[in-house]
Chains A and B, each alone.
Chain A
């Protein structure tokens, strides 16, 4: 039982950067924009957050800096792909390559800096619950925020009028435009939001999860977030399940190894990817629902006049 609790506590921590980045990208893709630059935006967010926190000692200023930096990167993508109508796939890939290089360059002087790990926040009363208390209510403050974000995104997309507009822009920008909605403007907002959330995901890694800065420290988490959105068929709840599943299987296979399980570690290491894909494909196997959820205009440029 103690082991199970320990695994679940670690699972939530491991899944959180994916929750932020993937929920952000979900909103972007729902507006019809495919931004493959998540990894680059996360890295730039990570170094900005680390620099801000090491200068001020304040974690929240770091998170804010990560948000701004991630959104700034997304703005670059927006100018290229939305205003100048460049190919979204190419622009996104370029953004990742740019982000990897930029963060490494800016981060050079921070490689030798060590930060204090921030304390977890015990939610009064709830943290004392058996089992659930330590798993859900004794986490980093940013973890609670990721749940708030999830609730907001789910509500926004499916219960709010602006969410409906955003989705219509992703389905048929021409119709949305005909109805008088500013397609490019809405896509800009979605893209900036996605960048800001990727930045927070990066900030979580560099100032909370492993409080250090090293080049390329996201180690592919941006790509996993992108894959999660697709395999979750653009549903926020499934994105959340996928992120925790990925984190959970990663942690569980470490526990299995540490306990001396006689399974090849190479196989164990591939389990998080396999398990996440299999589970998400299974729960999303209805082709009609996939067609319903996938934004029809995903990745297509929109020319306002044409």
Chain B
């Protein structure tokens, strides 16, 4: 007991000395950064990409930062505990990487005004809470172009998790990309009502294949649809991460999320003391969305087509929802010559022309 009192006293003395002898010693202290992940890191998927971003930032900034992460944190009360723990243990920057962390993040941020928070995919901001997201649909449009050229049956199958705007943007952008090169193409959608259930994702993919789809893509978290496509000898696109390992023949490319550059910038701004809360929605232009290496099975003219669209999207000349955009019922949502504004994109609740079936009503 006595010993520990002495040790504590010593530490306090040391801290006082560090304060007294100025900023030089303090500057050596790395910036402590915390990451909260919603699922296990695994080998592919949403959290894997965030963790790759964390590692990339560590590589660039080296000893200037010290990162820590907690994986598999359920959205809700547990999340608040983990976020609070980070803030209370000297982390000056905390990334919370799932939509359901929104309210806990904002709540903890109020209690720790000196700590900077960045919340992924949310919409609530504060003096010390910024939000960030990526324009996943831009990548979807490019994979749609490749799908439109590679399909023989003119039917693509899409395994969806839940009919929320983010997923619908993907389905609609994919459909528009596909029909931009193949007006006969149609997209069939099956909702599995789960972000993650390999068995059902596979069943959904198999069903789509037996209904004539020869290109499969998904907005769920496992690699099961890619594997199902490989087994049945049709094509597939990965999502979140490069999934080519799970279907070397089937996997044409994937829409991948790249958070590294953004994480590095936020850390640098925090180090320099000039971080400001903002709402980042980055896309191909910002390097947040990239296509995985394209399968050699894709002929050169198709690659060129995708590459051209990629550079046009980056240059702002092409918008996946550039008018005219018609929904399934033929109603014009965006007139010719205009492109869809971000606030409309964010609340998308319909299928565009070319998607088969009706969207489940709320």
Count of interface residues, chain B, beta-carbon cutoff 8 Å: 40
Q: A251-B203, A254-B203, A260-B357 are in contact. Are A265 and B191 (CB under 8 A)?
A: yes
Give the chain B neighbours of A258 by CB distance below 8 A: 157, 188-190, 204, 207-208, 211, 213, 357
In Å, the complex CA distance between A6 and B213 comes to 14
CB-based contact B357/A114 at 8 Å? no
B296 within 8 Å of A by Cβ? Answer: no
With A114-B246, A212-B227 already in contact, the answer to whether A265 and B163 are too (CB < 8 A) is yes
Taken together as a complex, chains A and B put the C-alpha atoms of A44 and B28 apart, in Å, by: 46
Given the complex of chains A and B, what is the CA–CA distance between A212 and B190 in angstroms? 22
- The reply to whether A269 and B222 form a contact with Cβ atoms under 8 Å apart is no
Q: Which A residue's beta carbon lies closest to that of B248? A: A114
Report the minimal beta-carbon distance from B166 to chain A, rounded to whole angstroms.
16
On chain B, the residues within 8 Å of A257 by CB distance are 189-191, 357
Is B360 a contact partner of A215 (Cβ separation < 8 A)? no
Is there contact, CB below 8 Å, between A251 and B224?
no
A interface, how many residues as a size bin? 35 or more
A204 to chain B, nearest CB (A): 10
Q: Does B300 contact A (CB under 8 A)?
A: no
Find chain A residues with CB under 8 A from B188 CB. Answer: 258-260
Instruction: Decide: B40 and A265 in contact? CB cutoff 8 A.
Output: no
**Provided the pairs A111-B42, A259-B211, A269-B193 are in contact, do residues A212 and B246 lie with their beta carbons within 8 angstroms?**
yes
Residues of A within 8 A of B206 (CB): 10
Neighbouring A residues of B210 by C-beta, 8 Å? 3, 6, 10
Residues of B within 8 A of A10 (CB): 203, 206-207, 210
A86 contacts B by Cβ under 8 Å: no
Tell me the A residues contacting B by CB distance below 8 Å. 3, 6, 10, 14, 17, 104, 111-112, 114, 117, 205, 209-212, 214-219, 221, 250-251, 254-255, 257-266, 269
Question: Is B199 a contact partner of A114 (Cβ separation < 8 A)?
Answer: no
Q: How far, in Å, is B245 (CB) from chain A's closest CB?
A: 6
Across the interface, do B199 and A205 meet the contact criterion of CB distance under 8 Å? yes
Q: Which chain A residues lie closer than 8 Å to B191 at the CB level?
A: 257, 265, 269
Q: How far is the CA of A10 from the CA of B223 in the complex (A)?
A: 19
Q: List 13 A-B contacts (CB under 8 A).
A: A3-B210, A6-B207, A10-B203, A10-B210, A111-B42, A117-B230, A205-B199, A212-B223, A214-B198, A219-B199, A259-B356, A269-B191, A269-B193
Query: Is A209's CB under 8 angstroms from B199's CB?
Result: yes
Q: Which of chain B's residues 43-72 have a Cβ closer than 8 Å to chain A?
A: 43
Query: Chain B interface (Cβ within 8 Å of chain A)?
Result: 40, 42-43, 157, 163, 188-194, 196-204, 206-208, 210-211, 213, 222-224, 227, 230-231, 245-246, 356-358, 360-361
Chain B residues with CB under 8 A of A6: 207, 210
Contact between chains at B222 and A214 (CB < 8 Å): yes
Tally of A-B residue pairs with Cβ under 8 A?
A: 107
CB contacts (< 8 Å) of A251 on chain B: these are 203, 207
CA distance A205 to B203 in the complex (A): 12
The chain A residue sitting closest to B155, CB to CB, is A258
Residue of B194, B199, B230 with most chain A CB atoms under a 10 A cut-off: B199
Alpha-carbon distance between A87 and B202 when the two chains are bound, in angstroms: 38
Name the A residues within 8 Å of B357 (CB-CB): 257-262
Least CB distance from B154 to A in Å reads: 15
Residue of B nearest to A110 (CB): B43
Q: How far is the CA of A211 from the CA of B223 in the complex (A)?
A: 10
Asked whether A210 and B207 contact (CB < 8 A) given A217-B199, A262-B358, A269-B192, the answer is no
A252 to chain B, nearest CB (A): 9
Q: Are B204 and A254 in contact (CB under 8 A)?
A: yes
Contact B43 A112 (CB under 8 A): yes
Q: Does A255 lie within 8 Å of B222, measured CB to CB?
A: no
Given known A212-B246, A254-B190, contact A260–B207 (CB-CB < 8 A): no
Q: How far is the CB of B45 from chain A (nearest CB, A)?
A: 9
